[in-house]
Chains A and B, each alone.
Chain A
Amino acid sequence: MRTAAWGSCLIALGLWCGCSHKHAVAPLLHATANGSALLESSGGKQLSSPGSTLAQPLVVQVNDKQGNSVTGALVTFSGPAGVTFNPPQVLTDSSGQASAQVTLGESAGRYDLIASSIDSGGKTFDLAIPVFAAGYQQQVGHEVEDTYCARCHDPESTTQRVSNYDNLAVKPHAFGEGDFLNKLSDSDLTTIISHGGQSMNMSAQMPPYGSTLPKSDIQALIAYIRLVSDPPYKPAGVVYAKR
């Protein structure tokens, strides 16, 4: 009787081990080299919608102490709940780069993706790369920005659009410039957008858009500015009396 009980226990244990082993599907990669620093090559600060796969892969580079790229270092990608990477682990190629497709989680907002690797001493080093999932309002804001604002506020020219940034006497602030923009309240930003730079003693080269854009578009634009801000924007929130 007792033997039978022990036997069935053993069988159960074996089954459990067998089943749980099945879950570890990813083939384990082994680093053939170690670096000491991670750099972002491309793919950071992309904007997409919740649940979507980013258009460009996330590419990072592993360097050693001398700043030379390292081939064969193991890079592990991770992120907030809901983010998936394909593949989640990758060895750096001959130019020291590792890349992965990123699918965002189902909620809107900023996602800080982490690429990490291990140095020769066994210590983990990592690199945080923000990407953004725009909700409906932020997406509208992004479209407003693209139509009305980017020509001056984005210093980069594209084949479709020549940037006007260099032509301006007073340089506009880029929308990711959190150090400056986070200090402005929503109502300050609304004033500048609606009534022009002069209304806040800033450049007259920022024209007023209050009669051109509906209020909802201006709100959406601010929501977009807050989303892409780096360092991230932390709303002051409503202050309530302590109970």
Chain B
Amino acid sequence: MSKTKIGASLRAMHRDPIRAFGVVSVVLLLVLAIAPAKDFFSQWRSYQSQYLRLIRDRGDAVTLRRHFQGGIRQIWIAQLGVVDRCQTCHAGLTEPTLVDVKRQPFRPHPPIPHSADQFGCVICHRGQGEATTVEDAHHSTLAGEEPILPARYLEASCGQCHHEVLKGTPKLNQGRVLLSRYGCVRCHAVRLPDGSAMKASDVPPPLTHIADKTSREWIYAWLKDPASYSASATMPNFHLSDADARDISAFLMANSAPKAADVVVSQGTGKQEDPAAGASIYGQSFCASCHAAQNAGGNLVGGDLGPELTRIGNKVKPEWLEGWLSDPHSYDASTTMPHYRWSAQQLGLVKAFLLGKTDSDFLANVHLDSATPAQIAHGKTLTDYGCAACHEIRRIQRPENYAPELSRIGSKPVVQLVFNEGMRHTLPDYLATKISQPRSFGPGLRMPQYSFTPDQVDAITTALLALTDRSYSLPSSLQVPAQHDSEYRAAGGAGKLMEDFNCYSCHRINGRGGDMAPDLTWEGSSVQRKWLDDFLKNPNTLRPALLRRMPKFNLSDSERAVLTESIMNVYQTPAFDRDEMPASGYPAALVEQGRQLFYSRYACQSCHIVDTKQDKGYIGPPLYQVGLRLTAAWIFHYLKDPQALRPGTIEPKQKMSDEDARALTAFLMTQKSAGKQEGAR
């Protein structure tokens, strides 16, 4: 029927060519009008007219109107591969005076150190810069295209270029620390664009001599649930079956080689030790600077450099503990634990104190029959869980490329991911779930369960999202490399002692070491020889309120002499001669002038104590004996420019004249109240 109808109308047209021409023309015009109409009614035009209405009645309308460019606004940065049309709709993006506008797409961008003209938008926010509709720009789910990055992970974008510890991005920094601290990078390689690799910062103990150290029951309980032994464990939970945990513990015990040095003849006094005396040695040795333990209130108190000691008595064998305390390096050459020189009596007290830290419930329900060869063999195959990626195990090779490399995980296309049911199909959601519930993606997966808080999951996801293809394709001039520790090792006898005491665990020297204690790179220019010698003999407390302090190592006279000599001679700044100013003999008038400056003009007493009766400032170290501690030249130059001598110190640089600095130096060098020092001890 329709065929005949069309045929009839064609015949009618044929009969009346003028009318036919009219109809065809109208149709043609209508067709031609489609494109301009689509353009005219496009989303971005509507936003631009909304923007013009928004600014029309403002006080700054004239300026805003002048800045406004109609039409498609495009930024093209060929060098970075950026084509952005975002500002077509986000018309107020670079107008700081619109700060009161809360409505998108018209909010101004909050201040950042980069300008949109230099970098565009998509480098940080992702999305499709070329798109001119809201949907296409933000939410595209096509393969190879990127949806916009949710704001909670935005710091990831900074991390594409900034591999250093960056100010203003706490999440990114924390995430990177966690990737290292929890040993993620031991299984998953992460290479950075500059060719370096992310390094792990945890110290998983070697298991070569594990049978000397602990019992099979403890290993079993630890493998089953590390958190039940120590809430702060970095070892994850592999959700092992009872049989698997039994077999791994059997294998580890059978595989362990005894270490001769561990068999130390007990030097203890033999009698029941007084736990209070042990606690006091534990306190004096500042074990809590590195080790945490639960107090009576159930709160963890102490540092996290070493393992938690709350239930240490459940774990270690007494003879091993004695060997460890008398020289940790003989069991584990790479340990960060310092070698204390305890007397036999002190060592016995510490040992008894630590062995008393037990939880009677902890191993109460663990009963293991003796291991069969089949169990041991099965246990060996179970090291396939990746045990050797972290721990040194005899006769087990460290696996290479054990888990997928994550160097470009932040650009992984969504189509290559397998999602769980009910999950949102985005890369950040995938990563966050993978980190918080790795086993939810299917049975038989080996990635263990960590006990990260939601904040930590966010942080790790952020750090992973920073590992993008783009970070490799951006010009290398934009890349800020990560700062790695130097390989510095002090030379000679002092160098050996410093390894033995593990000074680097807390002190930084020439770019190597921790940040718990002062940087010692220029200590020789800073302190007086006698003070240093006395301090090493008995580290009295410069700041008694600090929880983490220098322990007393009980150095022998000769060891002390070697260290003092080396520090005084080697660790000197090239900036000045430490003997260029006298230690005493300053005129009284100059000292008095210094006193005036100290208390009035510079108000140093806000942070430092000189007169213990009236000053209260407690931010910087007390200075009542600074004349015995520091060199005059150090004080003078430090006052002139503190950050030049101690980078990052919060002591403000004051644009101080030489005259003022000299007077203050004279005043401070007279502060030698040794009597107070005795009192502090």
Contacts and interface: CB of A to CB of B under 8 A. Distances in A.
Contact of A207 (B97, B112, B155, B603): B603
A108 B113 contact: no
Interface string A191-205: 000000000000111
B654 A143 contact: no
Interface string A135-157: 11111100100011001100000
Nearest to B600: A204
A203 B607 CA distance: 14
Contact of B99 (A143, A147, A235): A235
A182 interface: no
A55 B453 CA distance: 10
B618 A162 contact: yes
Interface string A84-99: 0000000000000000
A107 B107 contact: yes
Contact of A208 (B547, B650, B652): B652
B618 A167 contact: yes
Contacts of A216: 113
Nearest to A209: B652
B643 A55 contact: no
B152 A136 contact: no
Contacts of B99: 235
Contact of A137 (B60, B110, B547, B616): B110
Contact of A135 (B97, B110, B171, B655): B110
A205 B110 contact: no
Contacts of A3: none
A204 B601 CA distance: 7
B664 to A, nearest CB: 14
Contacts of B167: 140, 143
Interface stretch (A4-12, A33-41, A46-54, A113-121): A46-54
B110 A151 contact: no
A24 interface: no
Contacts of A138: 110
A238 B619 contact: no
Given A143-B168, A205-B603, A211 B655 contact: yes
Contacts of A22: none
Interface residues on A, range: 35 or more
Contacts of A123: none
A53 B458 contact: yes
A76 interface: no
B151 A164 contact: no
Contact of A106 (B61, B150, B617, B655): B150
Nearest to B63: A240
A211 to B, nearest CB: 4
B110 A51 contact: no
B112 to A, nearest CB: 5
B305 to A, nearest CB: 15
B618 A164 contact: yes
Contacts of B152: 49-53
Contacts of B100: 237
A100 interface: no
B545 A162 contact: yes
Nearest to B109: A135
Contacts of A211: 652-655
A139 B454 CA distance: 20
The SS class assigned to the A binding surface is: loop
A223 interface: yes
B211 interface: no
A65 B515 CA distance: 54
Contact of B111 (A53, A135, A205): A135
B650 A147 contact: yes
Interface magnitude class on chain B: 35 or more
A168 interface: yes
A143 B648 CA distance: 13
Contacts of A140: 167-168
B62 to A, nearest CB: 7
Given A135-B111, A240-B63, A167 B616 contact: yes
B583 to A, nearest CB: 27
B433 to A, nearest CB: 15
Given A49-B171, A52-B152, A164 B617 contact: yes
A183 interface: no
Contacts of B619: 151-152, 164
Contacts of A2: none
Contact of B654 (A53, A80, A148, A208): A208
A159 B97 CA distance: 42
A151 B113 CA distance: 28
A207 B62 contact: no
Nearest to B103: A81
B606 A136 contact: no
Contacts of B60: 238, 240
A21 interface: no
Interface string B374-388: 000000000000000
Contacts of A205: 603, 606
12 contacts: A49-B155, A52-B458, A106-B151, A164-B619, A203-B603, A204-B603, A207-B652, A212-B650, A237-B97, A238-B97, A242-B59, A243-B61
Nearest 5 Cβ contacts at the A-B interface: A51-B151, A51-B152, A135-B110, A167-B616, A140-B168
Interface of B: 59-63, 97, 99-100, 102, 104, 107, 110-113, 150-155, 167-171, 454-455, 458, 545, 547, 600-603, 606-607, 616-619, 642-643, 650, 652-655
Interface of A: 49-53, 55, 80-81, 106-108, 135-140, 143, 147-148, 151-152, 159, 162, 164, 166-168, 203-205, 207-209, 211-212, 216, 219-220, 223, 235, 237-240, 242-243
Given A49-B155, A143-B167, A164-B606, 4 more contacts: A106-B150, A137-B110, A204-B602, A204-B603
